[in-house]
Structure 1
């Protein structure tokens, strides 16, 4: 018997960025592990409706909430809408993010604000809403924030992005510490270079990448691949589930590059 079967049967989750990429991969993993209540959050109604339809085929009560997580009012509406529909929520995956480029000397005030509002402020107020709901119900819950290996340092053209992920790392630990006695757990994953639709767009837009960029990128990696959303999603679904026990405040690197290593 699959050890993961049914481990998320009691999970009622909000997943931001849930209509594509890592967010949708997480939704699929949760559904495969028994979750029957999923609120997917994103900006594209077309993508959202398609994602919901795919989950509904497997008997999931899935809804799409059109929202921009950089807007606090939208974050509050997301939590309220999910609770109104499902009666309660006990899980949150913050997968939505922007990886817009900018070095220290090139980043404008507007770009800095856009990145931090999406990558830090959004998760902050989404967690605020979910945690307040759980505290009111005196119920346990689980949160996973999707960070990046860039939180350790990042490339020169990712100065504000890397900073935002570093801030979310600290916030993850702060929330974990604050609510551990309430059985509300908060963890994070730090994936490396990932193969997603969004990354393909980024490579074309910012790096003038050729059509075969993925093949070339994977050939140069130690394990011959980039991080795959479906692989990472299983780790996140485990961290969300009660099966992960008392795990909280953990920042889990998910990459084939080791932080702090140097070329031999």
Structure 2
């Protein structure tokens, strides 16, 4: 039986809270912002690079809930000055930020032999330094305003290793997980929680483009059929977990990396292997 999409965390209220979602103009970031709007967030700030898609996403999000207003801030997450300016503008406009989601990332293929120093640096800049600078700016704001906030970093099952075709990406996500735990320890005395979601294979817009180029347009059907649980992840699955971590329902969770990759689990055979043994 193929599992349905994870239920939106609408029972968890985001009323009275303001959030920042990097990469919120499309794909996973948009799905997270969409569920926050459904949960009644007062304001959602989308930080992304492209103005046209960002403004369109903000307009669409604002139409979902009359009590939610979405805002777009053009941000180059590889540029420290751009991050600083966008964070300052967001704080000035929204006054108090309750939560930050570092969802934006880049994925480039390459192994030990083929990855160039420029490729390596680019992925570390976007996937590790960007979230670091965002977390630094927003946590400083939360501390100064005495906000018991929540920061959620999107990591990857690839951070566990064993994915040579995305070596630099895997390393950048491992760095992000390390930062998550360090920041959780540092910020806990201030009432600020920091958690991560290590997601597995997910059907996003970018993944669809990449897989279609490498195989064919029917790849998602084949991918779903290959999974013992019935399908690979969808953005809504990840968004539900993220919004739980942003909410008061997870007030005693910090420094955790939530493994959201049903194709494998720690401390057991892979589900593929289990399925083979059972047959």
With the length of structure 1 as denominator, give the TM-score of the two structures: 0.95
Matched, 1:56 2:59: no
- Give ranges in structure 2 of 5+ residues lacking alignment: 1-7
Q: CA deviation at 1:223?
A: 1.5
- Give ranges in structure 1 of 5+ residues lacking alignment: none
Q: Comparing 155-164 with 72-81, which one deviates more in the overlay?
A: 72-81
Give the structure 1 partner of residue 130 of structure 2: 122
Report if aligned partners of 1:90, 1:130 keep a CA contact under 8 Å in 2. no
Give the structure 2 partner of residue 220 of structure 1: 226
Cα separation, 1, equivalents of 2:154 and 2:171: 14
Task: Give the number of equivalent residue pairs.
Answer: 261
Matches within 5 A, 1:174-185: 174-185=182-193
Cα separation, 1, equivalents of 2:201 and 2:22: 20
Q: CA deviation at 1:138?
A: 1.9
Cα separation, 1, equivalents of 2:119 and 2:259: 27
Which deviations, in whole Å up to 9, do the C-alpha atoms of 1:2-47 show, x marking residues without a partner?
9843521132111001011110101011111110210001112221
Matched, 1:209 2:215: yes
Matched, 1:27 2:33: yes
Of 69, 74, 80, the match for 1:66: 74
Give the structure 2 partner of residue 138 of structure 1: 146
Q: SS at 1:193's partner residue? A: coil
Change in Cα spacing, 1:35 to 1:260, as seen in structure 2 (3 Å) is same
Of 14, 22, 26, the match for 1:16: 22
Cα separation, 2, equivalents of 1:76 and 1:68: 10
Q: CA RMSD in A?
A: 1.5
- Which consecutive aligned stretches of 4+ in structure 1 deviate over 2 angstroms post-superposition? 2-6, 259-264
With the length of structure 2 as denominator, give the TM-score of the two structures: 0.90
Cα separation, 2, equivalents of 1:75 and 1:261: 41
